[in-house]
Every structure is written in structure tokens, then in C-alpha cells.
Amino acid sequence: MKSEPGAYSIDNLHRAPRRTDCWDGVRNYQARNFMRDDMRKGDLAFFYHSSCPRPGIVGIMEIARAGYPDHTAWDPREPHYDAQSDPARPRWYMVDVRYRRKAKRLLGLPELRTHPGLVGLQLLRRGNRLSVMPVSREHWELILELEAKPPPGKN
DNA sequence: GCCAACGTTGGC
DNA sequence: GCCAACGTTGGC
């Protein structure tokens, strides 16, 4: 799950009450479907910082509540207000996430890209712009193994 | 249903 | 700031 740290970082989540917050504001149908249909309470997710000097995976969180309507879509004062979303038929969904831990080190996008085992990871797909996307069990475990290794040196 | 125009995302 | 790659919109 991606977020721009300038808007909402893993530190924000760490400081939130009960280290839990709602993942609101997603306004993309594919990303919405992942949250609404595929995420279950107790699932784990990587927290990814995007649009920043060093984009990459910065930590792990847990889905604390499965998909439910994103009420910020109905509030005109909200930045992601959507006048077309009817409370009777919610268009946008969110989940609640709980902070688990920070990554031992940043798993930067360039490093992830160089790893042959991560070919096919949706995050690395060309032109990918989804802010929420699935990670296979195999890729998940590979990334955790990568985390345990020393960071790549500068060549 | 096609597709051009436009807006957004996000790496660089 | 640039721009590639998408998604959305709306005229036809």
C-alpha cells in the first residue's frame, strides 16, 4: 500500500491512536476492489513510500478492519470528496490498518527492481500507478529475506 | 463503442 | 520540472 510520506508516512501511522488508522482517499476502482473484496482482517501489508527522495518499502502493517465504505467521499470538506458517491450505494471503500513494525532498512525501489525473484511483482510493473495491490506469498517471503541481507553498496 | 483530450500518478 | 503511462470523460 503506497502513500506519499509528505501526506501520510509510516511515522504518522505509528503515532496514531492504537497505532491504527483508516486508509481513506483511494479513488481508483482497481485499488478499491482489492480493499473491498480481497483484504481480510489480520492480513499483512507492506507500507510503501512514494513520490519522495527514496521511494520504497518502509514497514509492515496489519489489516485491522476489512473493507467498509469510505465516508470521506461524502464530505465536501474532504480533499477526496466525490459528489457522485451516494451513501445509499457507496462507491469508495477503505480498510483500517495497524502499524506492525518498521523495516530493518529501507527496501528501495531500485533494489527491488534488480532482484530476479521479484519479477512479476505488481509494484514493479511498468507504468504501475495503483496505490493498493496484491503481493504473492512467495514475493512477500522473498522481500523479507531481502530485508535481512545487508543493504546493497554503491557501485 | 471509439477515441481524443484531459487529469493524475509517480519515478527520475 | 519533465514526462511516460495510465484512467476517466464526453462528443460523436
Give pLDDT tens digits for A42-70. Answer: 999 999 999 999 999 999 999 999 999 99
The single residue listed with the C-alpha cell 491512536 is: A17
Give the count of beta carbons closer than 10 Å to the beta carbon of residue A19: 15
The mean per-residue pLDDT over the stretch A113-123 comes to 94
Q: Separation of CA A53 and C1' B12 in angstroms?
A: 10
> Which residues 18-37 of chain A have a CB under 7 Å from nucleic chain C?
28-30
Q: Separation of CA A14 and C1' B10 in angstroms?
A: 24
Q: Separation of CA A33 and C1' C9 in angstroms?
A: 21
A3 CB contact with strand B at below 7 Å = no
Contact A151, A112 (CB under 8 A): no
Structure confidence by residue, pLDDT tens digits, A65-107: 999 999 999 988 888 888 888 888 899 999 999 999 999 999 9
Contact A94, A26 (CB under 8 A): yes
Q: Indicate the pTM of the whole model.
A: 0.93
A130 CB contact with strand B at below 7 Å = yes
Which runs of consecutive H residues, i.e. helices, occur in chain A? 10-15, 29-33, 109-114, 137-148
Q: Is the pLDDT of residue A149 over 60?
A: yes
Q: Is the pLDDT of residue A155 over 70?
A: no
What would the grid cell of residue A40 be?
Answer: 481480510
Mean pLDDT of chain A: 94
Q: Separation of CA A88 and C1' B10 in angstroms?
A: 34
Secondary structure E strands in chain A: 2-3, 20-22, 44-49, 56-69, 93-108
Q: Please choose, from the candidates A133, A127, A120, A117, the residue with its C-alpha nearest in 3D space to the C-alpha of residue A57.
A: A133
Q: Separation of CA A94 and C1' B1 in angstroms?
A: 32
Domains and CATH numbers, chain A: 10-106 (3.10.590.10)
A126 CB contact with strand C at below 7 Å = yes
A54 CB contact with strand B at below 7 Å = no
Long-range pairs for A4-13 at CB < 8 Å and ≥24 separation?
Answer: A4/A49, A4/A50, A4/A51, A4/A52, A5/A49, A5/A52, A6/A51, A6/A52, A9/A49, A9/A58, A10/A47, A10/A49, A10/A58, A10/A59, A10/A99, A10/A102, A13/A47, A13/A61, A13/A97, A13/A99
